[in-house]
Structure 1
Amino acid sequence: MKKIGFLSFGHWTPSPQSQAQSAADVLLQSIDLAVEAERLGVDGAYFRVHHFARQLASPFPLLAAVGARTKKIEIGTGVIDMRYENPHYMAEDAGSADLIAGGRLQLGISRGSPEQVIEGWRHFGHHPADGETDADLARRHAETFLELLSGKGFAQPNPRPMFSNPPGLLRLEPYSEGLRDRIWWGAGTNATAVWAAKLGMNLQSSTLKFDETGEPFHVQQANQIRAFRAAWKDAGHTRTPRVSVSRSIFALVDDRDRAYFGRGEQDGDQFGYIDGPRRAVFGRSYAAEPDVLVEQLKDDEAIAEADTLLLTVPNQLGVAYNAHVLEAILTTVAPALGWR
């Protein structure tokens, strides 16, 4: 069995061809898609976070709204860029959203992706310390966030408070028990996957990673997952970690699907450069008749290694069509591969 969720980047554009022409459209449709996904039996509703872009940004109002409208589906991010985050404020927001959802949050965090603006985190008031890189800044914020989610008191109470305090040092409120175990790190390298394992975070691996061996994307990603699990075991954690991979997968079951995705434009991995001189490998998209998809996906080593699969959705095509995309995977592909 494999958990299956959707991942939405939340694009919007004021174009007649888009079903999401404004930020309001994207936010409201994201909630509606989560409701539809839960009805279909999808396990998770995940949302990407990008700043300074016509895409989903501040995640916690959306996560709280989805939590209030649904009952069972996991609600997550993939990923929150920790260079931009105040860990203390984020801990309060995350605790609130998780309590509203009844403990269903699965928060993916990371160093983030290439940006729309130059050093955008500086506009949010965050600066690397002397000798730090922006990646170091993200990891420092992440470690602080994890410590705050432990629920340990750390702040000296005022001797004359406005309201009475419990004894001892105070923690941030509201506190949601168990959320610390539902934090995921989006790793772009084997080394950051190992680092995440040592800190007791679950692993999210996206549709791209830095090219470390020249092997096919799914092989490198599978090796990253194995390195993560080995590091987790070495760290002595007592719980079983979770691992997700993201894929663009479309079952061509009607003429709409064939018109949108039946051209076979990306049937192999791509290599390129992001954030400077390091080469990255981008995983292929899958779009084919269901029986062909099943045979193709059998060979994807990383999907086989992961316990959770996040399906990227073309959100600008609207809620009804994206629900159709998810239902087609659940009914024609997942059973044949033993995912359901």
Structure 2
Amino acid sequence: MKKIGFLSFGHWSNSAHSATRSASDVLLQSIDLAVAAEELGVDGAYFRVHHFAQQLASPFPLLAAVGARTKRIEIGTGVIDMRYENPFYMAEDAGAADLISGGRLQLGISRGSPEQVIEGWRHFGYVPAGGESDADMGRRHGEVFFELLKGQGFARPNPRPMFPNPPGLLRLEPFSEGLRERIWWGSGADATAVWAAKKGMNLQSSTLKADESGEPFHVQQAKQIRAYRAAWQEAGHKREPRVSVSRSIFALVNDQDRAYFGRGDDSDQIGVIDNMRAVFGRSYAAEPDRLIEQLRADEGIAEADTLLLTVPNQLGVDYNAHVLESILTQVAPALGWR
């Protein structure tokens, strides 16, 4: 069995071919897609975070709205760029959104991806400390946030407060019990996956990673996940971790599917990202029988307990619901995911 969710980058463009012409369109349709996905039996609604781009950026209002409109589906991110985040304010936002959803938040955080602007985090007021890189700063912010979610008091109370305080040091409020176990680290390399395991975070492994062996993407990803699980066990954590992978997967079941995705590239791609040689995982688009065989050979998917399907959000809610339903009904059962 495998949890299956969708991952939306939340693109919009003022184009006649786009169903999302504005930020308002993207936000409202994201909520509608989460509702439709829940009705179909999808397990998770996840959203990407990109700053300075015509894409989803501020996750917590959206997550709270989705939480208020749904009852069962997991609600998450993949990922929040921690170089841009104040961990203290974020802990309050996350606690509130989790309480609104009834404890369904699954927050993916990381050091982030290549940016639209030069050192965009500086515009948000954040500068790496002496000797730090921006990636180091992102991990530091992530560690502080993760520590705050323990809910332990750390701030000295005012002896003459406006309202009565509980005894002892104060923590941030609202606090949501259990959220800390639902934090994921987005890793693009084996070393950061091991780091996340030692810290006690779940793992999100995306559609690209550092090319560390020259092997196919799915093989490298499977090795990364196995290294993560070994480090988790060695660290002695008491619970079982969760691991997700992301894929672009389309079952071609009608002429519209074939028109959109019937000519896709079915091989890994090699590129350079942040001065790092990276391997980008292939997309899958085929008739259901052929698709099942292709996915059965994907070692990365086999190692994960959660699969996030990247959706073409600019094609609209109805078409994306169709994409998800096709995978759930015509592909997932044959692979033992359902």
For the superposition of Structure 1 and Structure 2, which TM-score range results when normalised by the shorter chain?
A: over 0.9
Q: In the alignment, which residue of structure 1 is the partner of 2:114?
A: 114
Match of 1:311 among 309, 329, 335: 309
> How far, CA to CA, are the matches of 1:259 and 1:289 in structure 2?
13
**Residue 245 of structure 1 aligns to a residue in which SS?**
strand
Q: In the alignment, which residue of structure 1 is the partner of 2:91?
A: 91
How far 1:267 sits from its partner (Å)?
Answer: 0.6
Letter of the 2:265 partner, please give it: Q
Q: In the alignment, which residue of structure 2 is the partner of 1:227?
A: 227
> How far, CA to CA, are the matches of 1:296 and 1:136 in structure 2?
38
> How far, CA to CA, are the matches of 2:257 and 2:111 in structure 1?
34
How many residue pairs get matched? 338
**Residue 130 of structure 2 aligns to a residue in which SS?**
coil
Q: In the alignment, which residue of structure 2 is the partner of 1:157?
A: 157
Q: Please list every run of 5 or more consecutive structure 2 residues that lacks an aligned counterpart in the other structure.
A: none
Q: In the alignment, which residue of structure 1 is the partner of 2:278?
A: 280
> How far, CA to CA, are the matches of 1:222 and 1:120 in structure 2?
32
Q: In the alignment, which residue of structure 1 is the partner of 2:299?
A: 301
Letter of the 1:260 partner, please give it: Y
TM-score, normalised to structure 1's length? 0.99
How far 1:271 sits from its partner (Å)?
Answer: 0.4
Letter of the 1:309 partner, please give it: L
What is the 5 A alignment of 1:2-81?
A: 2-81=2-81
How far 1:194 sits from its partner (Å)?
Answer: 0.3
Runs of 4+ residues over 4 Å off in structure 1: none
How far 1:285 sits from its partner (Å)?
Answer: 0.2
Q: In the alignment, which residue of structure 2 is the partner of 1:267?
A: 266
Letter of the 1:32 partner, please give it: D
Letter of the 1:310 partner, please give it: L
> How far, CA to CA, are the matches of 2:152 and 2:133 in structure 1?
29
**Residue 203 of structure 1 aligns to a residue in which SS?**
strand
Q: Would you say 1:339 and 2:310 are equivalent positions?
A: no
**Residue 11 of structure 1 aligns to a residue in which SS?**
coil
**Residue 90 of structure 1 aligns to a residue in which SS?**
helix
TM-score, normalised to structure 2's length? 1.00
> How far, CA to CA, are the matches of 1:61 and 1:180 in structure 2?
20
> How far, CA to CA, are the matches of 1:209 and 1:70 in structure 2?
33
> How far, CA to CA, are the matches of 2:262 and 2:147 in structure 1?
47
> How far, CA to CA, are the matches of 1:165 and 1:171 in structure 2?
11
> How far, CA to CA, are the matches of 2:16 and 2:153 in structure 1?
53
- The percentage of aligned residue pairs carrying the same residue is 83
Q: What are the superposed Cα offsets for residues 53-76 of structure 1, whole Å, 9 maximum, x if unpaired?
A: 000000000000000000000000
Letter of the 2:307 partner, please give it: L
How far 1:13 sits from its partner (Å)?
Answer: 0.1
Q: In the alignment, which residue of structure 1 is the partner of 2:246?
A: 246
How far 1:266 sits from its partner (Å)?
Answer: 1.1
How far 1:335 sits from its partner (Å)?
Answer: 0.3
Letter of the 1:44 partner, please give it: G
Q: What are the superposed Cα offsets for residues 178-209 of structure 1, whole Å, 9 maximum, x if unpaired?
A: 00000000000000000000000000000000
> How far, CA to CA, are the matches of 1:256 and 1:113 in structure 2?
32
> How far, CA to CA, are the matches of 1:68 and 1:272 in structure 2?
40
Letter of the 1:183 partner, please give it: I
What is the 5 A alignment of 1:113-152?
A: 113-152=113-152
**Residue 109 of structure 1 aligns to a residue in which SS?**
strand
> How far, CA to CA, are the matches of 2:307 and 2:188 in structure 1?
17
CA RMSD after TM alignment: 0.3
How far 1:39 sits from its partner (Å)?
Answer: 0.0
How far 1:151 sits from its partner (Å)?
Answer: 0.2
Letter of the 1:315 partner, please give it: N
> How far, CA to CA, are the matches of 2:181 and 2:283 in structure 1?
31
Letter of the 2:267 partner, please give it: G
